[in-house]
Amino acid sequence: GVHVVEMTGQPQIERKNDENSPKIVTPMTKNEVLRGIFNLKTDAKSGIVVQLQSKVILKIYPDTEVEFPYVRWETGDFDTLNLKRGRLRWQSEVASPIILKSDLFQVKPSAGVFTFDYRPENPKIEVFALEGEIPFSEMNGEEAVILKAGEKVHFTGKLEDGEIAYDVLLKGRKIPQ
């Protein structure tokens, strides 16, 4: 399951009962077990370390927002994690079935330690492999770059009218420009 192992400052949890319900914002508590639909938010003076699975630790840095579209109540399992903005560190002893994504990229992190820094206002994603290796491509991109320990890659998208511009391909797949 998902639970808070460390926190600094006053990070917040924004919860929803379902997709259409209003958001309920509450302060976070250490060792809290997280389920359902929620976002974790940090301000300039807060940070969080969350255990995602027995072998995966997620460090959420200041000024970051991470969306958990749905963590199952019964098992604590989930499929997707959405980096809305900011920086996080993914540390895993095993390849994970969890998809980490933003509006610019989508990846299933392998075993290792990686940082992801997403700035939607630019829009720019930077990925740094501290340990291990990770295949990286822009969202729905055909070719992936294999990042090895010590390597960094970044991708900058294009904004049109305040929104990320996409090339729409066959079968409705979108690739950021």
Complete DSSP assignment for 27-74: E--TT-EE-EEEEEE--TT-EEEEEEETTEEEEE-SS-EEEEEEE-TT
Which residues sit opposite 71 in a β-bridge?
A: 36
Cβ within 8 Å of residue 172, ≥6 positions away: none
Rounded CA-CA distance 163/111 in Å is 33
Residue 171 backbone phi and psi in degrees, to 5: 60, 20
**How many CB atoms are located within 10 Å of the residue 170 CB?**
5
Residue 15 identity: R
Instruction: Give the pTM.
Output: 0.85
Provide the greatest CA pair distance for the chain: 46
- How many residues are there in the chain? 177
pLDDT tens over the chain, length 177 residues: 789 999 999 999 999 887 778 889 988 888 889 999 999 999 999 999 999 987 899 999 999 999 999 999 899 889 999 999 999 999 999 988 899 998 888 888 889 999 999 998 888 888 999 999 988 765 555 667 788 999 988 887 766 666 655 444 444 445 544
Residue 168's pLDDT is 47
| 142: its two tokens | 């055909």
Closest by Cα among 73, 136, 79, 132 to 105: 136
Rounded CA-CA distance 22/13 in Å is 13
Rounded CA-CA distance 101/68 in Å is 11
- How buried is residue 156: exposed, middle or buried, by Cβ count under 10 Å (0-12/13-18/19+)? middle
